[in-house]
Amino acid sequence: MSLTFDVKTVNINGSSHRILLQNENGPCALLALCNVLLLSPQLMQQAGPLLDLVSRSNEVGLHEIITTLANIGVQVPRGVSSDVDRLLQLLPQLHTGLSINPIFNGSFQDGDEMALFRLFNVSIVHGWLADYAGDPLQYQHVSNYSYEGAQNALIAAYDIQHGNIAETQENAAAVQDSNFIKSFLARSATQLTECGLDHMKEVLLENSYAVMFRNDHFATICKSNNQLFTLVTDLGFKNDTQVVWQSLKSVNGSQDTFFTGNFLPAMFNRTSTQGSSLVPGARGSSNNPFADPAASQHASGPENDPNFMTDEQYARQLQEQEDARVARSMQRNYEDTRASRNENSGTAKKGKESKKKGPKTRKRDKLKKSCVLM
C-alpha cells in the first residue's frame, strides 16, 4: 500500500495554509521541501499545483506528491538542464532518505542531492559550525572539513600514528587537525552550536522559510522577529491548532517551547501531546550530558505526582534524550573504526601490495539516510 500523509490547516500571521504532516517513518526531506513550497509567498506561483493538491483532501499519497513535484520541476526555467535530470532520478527514491554532507563553516558539500533544492529555489541551512570568534584556532583546523571529510581525517591520523600508512605531505594535515576535530565533534554532538544558531539568523531573511538539516533530520525553518522557529509536523499534533511552531533558541533544547502560527506561546492540548510517540525515548530519567540542570530540578512536577511533567518539560526531555543518543552513536562510530583499524594492523604489511593494486574498500561512516524526528 502506498504511503499517505495527513494534511493540516494552520493559520500563520492571519493567513490560512495547508501543510504536510510526518508519520513515524516519514520522508522528512521530501516533506520539509514541500512545506517550504506551501508556505513561502515568493514561491506561491511555481508551487500552484502542490497547493491545489493539498487543498483537495486531508490525506495525500506519496505518488501524487512526487508526480506533482516532478511536473513543477520540469517547468521551472533553468539555464542548466542537469538539475532537472537529477530531479527526475532522485524524486522516486526521495522518500527513502537523502544523503547530505554538511561542512563546518555553514555550507554543504555540493552533490547531486543539492540539485533538488536548487531546482525549486529552496534554501537549505545547518547550524553545525565551528566557532570562528570564540575559538579561532579550532576554527582554523576544523572549518574546512565536512562531516565525512572529518571522519576520513580521523581514520588517516589513526593509521599514521599506528604505522599502518606512511605520513605524506597530503595526509600530514590530518594528524595536526585530528585532535581539534575530535574535540569539536565531542562538543557539538547535537549537530548544532551557538555559533550555528547565530549563523542561521544571519543568513535567513525575516519571515522567510528554508529547509534546516540537523541530526539526520530535515525540518522547515522560519525566521520571525529575528528568532528561529521550526515547523511542527508531528502527526500527534494534527488536531491541535494551537501548536504550529517550536522555537529554536538553544543547542540542547532547554529553552525551546511551542508557539502558535502567530508566534505566540501556545496553550497545550495535553491529549495530543501524550498521544504522540514519534520521538524515540520514554519518560524516564535522561543521561544527556547536554541537559540543563535547572530544568531537571523542576522535572518532577507537583508533589502528589512525582512522574508528572508539563508538555514543555516532556518535549524538552525528548530532545535531550535524542541529543544523548546522537552523542553515543558518534562516539561508538569512532571507537568501532579505531578498533577495526587495530585488529587489521597485524595484516597491514601483507596487504600493502594488494591495496596499491586494487581500489580502496575502507568503509566510511556516512550520515544516516533515515529520518530522526526531533
Is a pLDDT exceeding 60 seen at residue 236?
Answer: yes
285 and 330 part of one domain: yes
70 and 218, same domain (yes or no): yes
What pLDDT digit, counting tens, does each position of 164-193 carry? Answer: 989 888 788 899 999 999 999 999 989 999
Tell whether 26 and 106 lie within a shared domain.
Answer: yes
Residues 158 and 175 in one domain: yes
Ordered strands of the 4-12 beta sheet? 15-20, 4-12, 59-61
The residue among 292 and 367 whose pLDDT is bigger is: 367
Read off the pLDDT of each residue in 241-263 and give the average, rounded to a whole number: 93
Q: Taking 70 as the threshold, does the pLDDT of residue 254 lie above it?
A: yes
Contact in structure between 248 and 197 (CB atoms under 8 Å): yes
**One domain, residues 56 and 133:** no
Number of H helices, E strands in the chain: 13, 9
- Which of 150, 100, 188 has its CA nearest to residue 368? 100
Are residues 133 and 119 part of one domain?
no
pLDDT of residue 326: 53
198 in a structural domain: no
Residues 103 and 18 in one domain: yes
Q: Tell me, yes or no, whether 152 and 270 share the same domain.
A: no
The residue among 232, 256, 275 that closes a domain is 275
Residues 109-150: tens digit of each pLDDT = 988 788 888 888 899 999 999 999 999 999 999 999 999 999
Q: Which helix (H) or strand (E) holds 55?
A: helix 48-55
Residues 114 and 10 reside in one and the same domain: yes
> What residues act catalytically?
28, 217
144 and 165 belong to one structural domain: yes
Domains held by the chain: number: 3
d(CA 28, CA 94): 9
pLDDT of residue 171: 85
Looking at the structure, do residues 161 and 116 belong to the same domain, yes or no? no
For the chain, what percentages of helix, strand and coil (3-state, to nearest 5) are there? 45, 15, 40
Element (H, E) at 224: strand 217-224
Domain range for 79: 4-126+209-275
pLDDT for the residue 129? 97
